[in-house]
Structure 1
Amino acid sequence: MGTEHTGRPMPDGPSGTVAWWRAMKAFPGNHQRWTSFLAGVLVGVLVVVLVGFLRPLLSDSSWEDGELVLLSGKDESAGGQRQELIEEWNHLHPDHPARIEEVTNIADAQHSEMLARAGGDGDPVDVLNLDVAWIPEFAEGDLLREYPESRADRGAFLDGPLETCEYDGKLWALPFNTDAALLYRRSDLAPRVPSSWTSMLAAIANVLEGRPKPGTVPEAGFVTQLQGYEGLTVNALEAVWSAGGEIVDDDGDVHVDSRQARDGLRQLVDGVHSDPRQILPASLDFSEQPSTSAFRAGRALFMRNWPLAYRTLDVPAEPGTRPVEFAVSPLPWPSVLGGQNLAVAKRSSHPRAAEALIEFLTNDRSQQLLFERGGLAATRRVVYEDTRIKQVYPYADELLKAIELARLRPRSPHYALFSEVLQTEVHAMLISGSGPPADLGDRLRAALRGKRR
């Protein structure tokens, strides 16, 4: 089930077209005539392909003139691929140029700044790149324009990412990139993929209490993100799901007082305070990058993290050394579905042009480039079927499985307050070693109504 990987570098050679062109340049005979002929063939093919591809995106009279502003957090793609796409758009549409305006990448501050700008503070924006959990809040707050169903191309997108674009029976955005957590494991010490939290703990006990080679014993079994931020909310939800429980069900009802939910939260608490350590205690101060560094340094046997960690682990920590031996698989329980969606701001004075920009950034080709070159998980199924993608990212099939199994966070306009309350209480539990407070359910119900209890 898992995809084994032991430090083999990802393919970065030329695509088939480029490799063919290089080979033909070396063809014996009249080099100049071959070069001219092949150049003409390639140009002809490219013209046919590009005309067919670009025809739906060519400017039309309904597009409003003027610069388009896309408000976004930091571009975490390798090589700044989002900016590359914007520059390509600008080359194709000089009368409708676009630029990315970045806000802070700290989740809570980013949320506040996005809300303020969408609500009228500062210069107006046209497109908002929103965390998938924020769509209900921005839609309910009348900060977004409803997206035209006729332009959604629903059949091309993965179901989960597209569902995050909906709220109250309406479509508000298109999926830009998606995310689902993966289970990374030291394949040299844990060759088998665990099927549950319990089987993962058994594998941890086997290594920590066994007699492996000297110097190979990790400090703990599992490293994850338990710092007091959104990552802790995600981990709490996943822990409860792993125990068969719910914190909030699909109807918005809170069930954190159920036995299964309390068992799931107890797993996290017990894991941090167990001996030997099931969960690396330093996880209480970890976000994504420190978790990756700890796993890379051999401090943990398993790691829960997003796909972006793969490209860090796949290269040596130091020149002349080998990368850590690892393999990836979907979590043995549902992951929270992450990602970002592109929506047209209600205050935009270029709504039709903004829709066209969104459709350009989310089409098949753009999604292919964002994944292949940038490492951002695609929202369109066809990308995962591409041979090149599977060469560059050997875990692509595992990631697709994880995305299809992933679940949405509570769909509430007051999700930010809900998350704040949950992560505050769970972090206190992790530090003290105690169980959930008696009033946690009431506090979460109040938060989902937008109130602090």
Structure 2
Amino acid sequence: MVTRTSNAALFAAQPGETAHHRTTRVLQCSAALVAAGLVLTACGSSDGDGSGQTGTTSFEGRGPITYVAGKDTSGTVQPVLDRWNKLHPKEKVTFIELPTDADAQRQQMIQNAETKSDAYTVLSLDVVWTSEFAAHQWIDKVPEKQFPLDKMLKPVVETGKYRGGLYTVPAGSDGGLLYYRTDLLKKAGVSEPPTTWAQMKADCAKVKKLPEAKGVSCYAGQFQKYEGLNVNFSEAVNSAGGTVTDANGKPDVDTAAAKKGLDFLVDSVKDGTIPKEALTYQEEESRQAFQDGKLVFLRNWPYVYSLAEKSKVAGKFAVAPLPGLNGPGSSSLGGHNLALSSFAKNKATALDFMKFYTSEESASTFLKDASLAPPYAALYDDAALTKQYPYLPVLKESIQRAVPRPRVVQYGDVTAAIQREAYAAVTGTKSSTQALKDLQEELQKSTEQ
């Protein structure tokens, strides 16, 4: 198999090469390859990644770099960076914190890329941004064989791939969990967490009869008009047997199954199962509401576990798989992967830092200090860890059952459309039927571009 490259790759000057030497090289390569009847494969240019892939990325240069990610609400990132900086005093990494809002993070990273700025080196990308950033050549393909992908959960590894190449490396996975108040359910005579939406509502009705449940609402997720609403909407649709987009990115939301999923959210707001204030919740607002004792049930990520253990509900909660229409539901596959900006300097340092940050040792640290879901399979099966973190088996099940959000190049347009139409439905400005019909049309336009 011969790899095709562009004329631009052929005529690109090599490091230290004069114009005369470049012309000579091009003519020699062209003549030799034409004589052999081959297609040009970028003479003298290879990324040397050991994966059998060719390209133009050169992982050269050592020195200071930056690590760019959303705000570290857990307080665990800087200590890991400090450990790197102590080991590499001449190649220090500076943490650039972006807003907690995922949409704002993505926008700032795109703005940096569009200006071809070298201010950002290593990026922490939401797993669903891989295709978009890779297709626009904002991030470099990285050498697969230099990372222990065979030790990671397969669904997690797949989030880093684009057209067969590895563009992002799993740093942490994520699966949605149902947090629930064990003390309140026990007093209400409920011994097991719900597996269906109907059971959850019935359990809430029993809890609300308790004197100590005065002012407590039933359920919340993340329903503000931002990326979290896309996550919650997708989970509702998938948990009712529907599909947002198929494996090829083709939309399929104007269906009876998708309507059942959206109707769960819409009807829950109408009947008070989901409190009105939850329409303003992102991850942190919903976490705080649960920790303050305002909710019986909460859909959120595993990072909440360690923080809730330090709150007023410590020892009074547990986690379970998300409920669905007829049984356990499906989480949206979450998590963050590391990517290398195409415009960065000191890429040799950056690649080494990515290996350090995504190592099993670092994953174990993030698990122990911040309840962050590790990409490594072995950590979920470690008896000592499971005893210390009893939610691990539930989390592993959540990740393995998880469904990716749309993996499409035009991700910004797709998520904006989902957020717009889902929010219109849950706030009552559109019917579920009309919102899904309009969403189907919008997604078809976006994915056909």
| TM-score, normalised relative to structure 2 | 0.79
2:269 counterpart of 1:272: yes
1:70 to 67, 72, 85: 67
Distance, in Å, in 2 between the alignment partners of 1:141 and 1:200 is 43
Q: 2:121·2:341 contact (CA, 8 Å) conserved in 1?
A: yes
Instruction: Return the alpha-carbon distance in structure 2 between the equivalents of residues 122 and 252 of structure 1.
Output: 31
Amino acid at match of 2:281: F
Comparing 184-193 and 263-272, the one that deviates more: 184-193
- Tell me the CA shift for residue 366 of structure 1: 1.2
| 1:362 matches 2:358 | yes
Change (3 A) 1:285 1:124: closer
Listed one character per residue, the Cα deviations across residues 3-50 of structure 1 (whole Å, up to 9, x for unaligned) are xxxxxxxxxxxxxxxxxxxxxxxxxxxxxxxxxxxxxxxxxxxxxxxx
Counterpart mapping for 1:32-431 below 5 A: 64-77=61-74, 80-188=75-183, 189=185, 190-208=190-208, 212-216=209-213, 219-274=216-271, 277-317=272-312, 323=314, 325-331=316-322, 332-431=328-427
Are the counterparts in 1 of residues 61 and 349 from structure 2 also a CA contact under 8 Å?
A: yes
The 5 A counterparts of 1:8-47 are none
Q: CA deviation at 1:114?
A: 0.5
CA 1:294–1:324 in structure 2 vs 1: closer, same or farther (change >3 Å)? farther
Paired letter, 1:138: F
SS in 1 for 2:289: helix
Distance 2:207 2:345 in 1: 60
The answer to whether the Cα contact below 8 Å between 2:152 and 2:376 also exists between their aligned partners in 1 is yes
Deviation at 1:228, TM superposition (A): 0.9
Aligned-partner Cα distance in 2 for 1:205–1:88? 50
Question: What is the deviation of 1:387?
Answer: 4.6
- List structure 1 segments (4+ residues) > 4 angstroms apart after TM superposition: none
1:439 alignment partner AA: D
Contact 2:250–2:447 (CA under 8 A) maintained in structure 1: no
Q: Counterpart in 2 of 1:445? A: 444
Residue 170 of structure 1, CA deviation: 1.4
CA change 1:300–1:259 in 2 (3 A) is same
Pairwise CA distance, 1:266 = 1.1
1:107 positional shift: 2.0
2:20 aligned residue: none
Q: Aligned partners of 1:298, 1:103: CA distance in 2, in Å? A: 29
Is the alpha carbon distance of 1:267 and 1:356 closer, same or farther for their aligned partners in structure 2, counting shifts above 3 Å? same
How far apart are the structure 1 equivalents of 2:339 and 2:232? 27
Deviation at 1:300, TM superposition (A): 2.9
User: Which amino acid letter does the alignment assign opposite residue 228 of structure 2?
Assistant: G
TM-score by length of 1: 0.78
What is the CA distance between 1:324 and its match in structure 2?
6.6
Contact 2:306 2:370 in 1 (8 A): no
CA distance in 2 between partners of 1:123 and 1:347 (Å) = 5
- Paired with 1:398 and 1:181, the residues of 2 have a C-alpha distance of 10
Q: CA, structure 1 residues 324+216, in 2 after alignment: closer, same or farther (shift >3 Å)?
A: farther
How much is the aligned-residue C-alpha RMSD, in angstroms? 2.1
- 2:432 is paired with a residue whose SS is coil
* Paired residue type of 2:420: T
Q: Could you say if the C-alpha distance between residues 382 and 76 of structure 1 is closer, same or farther in structure 2, counting changes exceeding 3 Å?
A: farther
Does the residue aligned with 1:134 lie in a helix, a strand or coil?
helix
Deviations 1:416-435 (A, max 9, x none): 21111111111111111722
**Any conservation in 2 of the 1:218–1:301 contact (CA below 8 Å)?**
no
Residue by residue over 1:158-203, the C-alpha shift from the partner in whole angstroms, topping out at 9 and shown as x without a partner, is 1122111011221101111111110011223143122222332333
Give the deviation of 1:121 after TM superposition.
4.8
Supply the distance in 1 between the matched residues of 2:293 and 2:365 (Cα, whole angstroms). Answer: 32
CA distance in 1, matches of 2:426, 2:94: 43
Gaps of 5+ in 2: 1-58, 323-327
Amino-acid identity (%): 34
SS class of match (1:439): helix
The whole-number CA distance in structure 2 between the counterparts of 1:250 and 1:201 is: 33
- Match of 1:432, SS? coil
- Shift in Å, 1:391: 4.2
Q: Distance in 2 between matches of 1:159 and 1:218?
A: 43
Deviations 1:339-366 (A, max 9, x none): 1111111122322332111111111111
Alignment deviations for residues 234-289 of structure 1 (CA, whole Å, 9 cap, x no partner)? 11101111111112111211111111011111111111112xx2222221111122
**TM-fit CA distance, 1:137:** 0.7
Once the 2 structures are TM-superposed, how far is the Cα of residue 147 of structure 1 from its aligned partner? 1.2
Native 8 Å contact 1:328 1:398 kept in 2: yes
**Counterpart residue type for residue 418 of structure 1:** V
SS of 1:215's equivalent in the other structure is helix
Q: Which consecutive residues of structure 1, in runs of 5 or more, have no partner in the other structure?
A: 1-61
SS at match of 1:102: strand
Report the secondary structure of 2:370's partner residue: coil
| Counterpart-to-counterpart distance in 2, 1:250 and 1:182 | 24
Distance 2:276 2:202 in 1: 19
Structure 1 distance, partners of 2:206, 2:210, is 13
Q: How far did residue 292 of structure 1 move? A: 2.2
